[in-house]
Amino acid sequence: MMRTLPERLVTTHLQMASQKQLQPVYLESARRSRCRMIRLENVDVDYYRFLYGAVGGPWSWTDRLRESARQGIRSDLASPDFSLDLFYEAGAPAGLMEIMREEADFEIVYFGLRPAFHGRGLGKHFLASGVQRAWDEGAQRVWLHTCNLDGPHAMSNYLKRGFEVFRVDEDPMPPWLRPDGSLIETLRPTSADVRVTWRHLRQ
């Protein structure tokens, strides 16, 4: 079934200002023993883009797939403030969580599962695991943003794990997305567009 974009882009910013807010839900022990969360080191740009596309393709994650985004990805991968955790179930890569730190402020830049792993309770398990790791690594605030292009259960998962909404923005839908959410190459965002969008989202 072809996906149809909404007319407006609604971006919701959520945060967890205390570890006490975290409401973890984990898989039962038998399934949990089949799951692992591994911190990736020395990731190359092509492998990062493969993971990014595998997880975000259905939800119009496009920024990192542009050829002009390679240098920015390379800089992030080399940053000591960047971390990338990969989630596995039974040895298969199931999803990822990307975090960028600014002192004790931890932003979950990307989080998601590959489509084959949706609907099995893994999202809440891996989200709780990733957020707990952030607190263990010294976070004083964990935050993220999601939008109305995201998966239908994303917002519910964030709220049930203890995140609270602190801002909602509404903007025109980016002109470089087709009605089904895919990227229009001839209207791909310029580097200036991306800088403006990134600055807007991080405010």
Alpha helices in 19-153 (DSSP H): 29-32, 45-56, 70-78, 122-136
Q: How far apart are CA 98 and CA 168, in angstroms?
A: 22
Q: How many CA atoms within 13 Å lie on the side-chain side of 186? A: 1
pLDDT of residue 190: 43
Q: How far apart are CA 50 and CA 38, in angstroms?
A: 17
User: If pLDDT is split at 50, 70 and 90, which confidence band does 105 have?
Assistant: very high
Q: How many CA atoms within 13 Å lie on the side-chain side of 85? A: 21
Q: Which CATH fold topology does 8-202 show?
A: Aminopeptidase (3.40.630)
Take residue 96 and report the two structure tokens written for it: 């990822």
Q: How far apart are CA 16 and CA 143, in angstroms?
A: 6
Take residue 174 and report the two structure tokens written for it: 């980016």
Residue 28 above 80 pLDDT? yes
Residue type, 140: Q
Classify strands 141-147 and 105-113 as parallel, antiparallel or unpaired. parallel
- Which residue's entry shows tokens 């997880």? 55
Take residue 23 and report the two structure tokens written for it: 């409401």
What are the phi and psi torsion angles at 19 (to 5°)?
A: -60, -25
- Asked whether the beta carbons of 107 and 99 are under 8 A apart, the reply is yes
Residue type, 109: V
Residue predicted with more confidence, 111 or 192: 111
User: If pLDDT is split at 50, 70 and 90, which confidence band does 179 have?
Assistant: low
Residue type, 117: F
User: If pLDDT is split at 50, 70 and 90, which confidence band does 59 have?
Assistant: confident
pLDDT of residue 157: 96
pLDDT of residue 3: 60
User: If pLDDT is split at 50, 70 and 90, which confidence band does 106 have?
Assistant: very high
